[in-house]
Amino acid sequence: MRAWAIAGLLLAAAPAWAAPPARGDVPPQALGNDRKGNPVNLAEQRGKVVIVTFWASWCGPCRKELPILAHLQQVVGEDALKVYAVNWGEPRLEVSRLIRQRDWPKLEYLHDPGGALAEQFGIVAVPHMFIVGRDGTVAHAHRGYSEASLPQIMQQVIDALPEEVRNREAGAAALGH
């Protein structure tokens, strides 16, 4: 009986995490502030494909994923694809120092030290990525990291891009750029 009482107390004390936004859902719009203190809102990116990925500096798979996303954003261009890398649960100053000291990928890094944004997105582990389509709804979500899934993720991003961008990228790939 005592074990059940303790289990009940633990469940009552646990935060009520939201379920992650599913395909077709509108994700939480307010992502916090950028490094300059300006608010970042997904609604302002409507018309672009947006990737929101949650990561942590201690997460090896996250450190593999971020350079790939930075390269993808560079190749496609920020006019069509924007990547937000949301650090989960680590102090802002520590993460900012780490990004400055090391040769980290050029991305828009956001901070969620208290986990409030992660809670809204239903994040329980990192990395966790959401691909938000040009219409502002979740097109795809990926939890974890696997090099085997990279071609699928890249194709999902490419498929979400406007046709003229897809054609531009296909032409560049054919020319070896």
Q: Where are the domains of the chain?
A: 49-174
On the question of pLDDT at 163 being above 70, the answer is yes
Please tell me the distance from the alpha carbon of residue 136 to that of residue 42, in angstroms, as a whole number: 7
Mean pLDDT across 115-126: 95
CATH number of the 49-174 domain:
3.40.30.10
Q: What is the pTM of this model?
A: 0.84
Percent of the chain scoring above 90 in pLDDT: 67
Q: Tens digit of pLDDT for each residue in 35-46?
A: 888 999 999 999
- What pLDDT shows up at residue 168? 74
Mean pLDDT, the chain, whole residue set:
87
Q: Return the axis-axis angle of helices 163-174 and 150-160, rounded to nearest 10°.
A: 130
Q: Which of 6-20, 55-69, 103-117 has the lowest mean pLDDT?
A: 6-20
- What pLDDT shows up at residue 7? 42
The answer to whether the beta carbons of residues 56 and 26 sit under 8 Å apart is no
Please tell me the distance from the alpha carbon of residue 119 to that of residue 23, in angstroms, as a whole number: 18
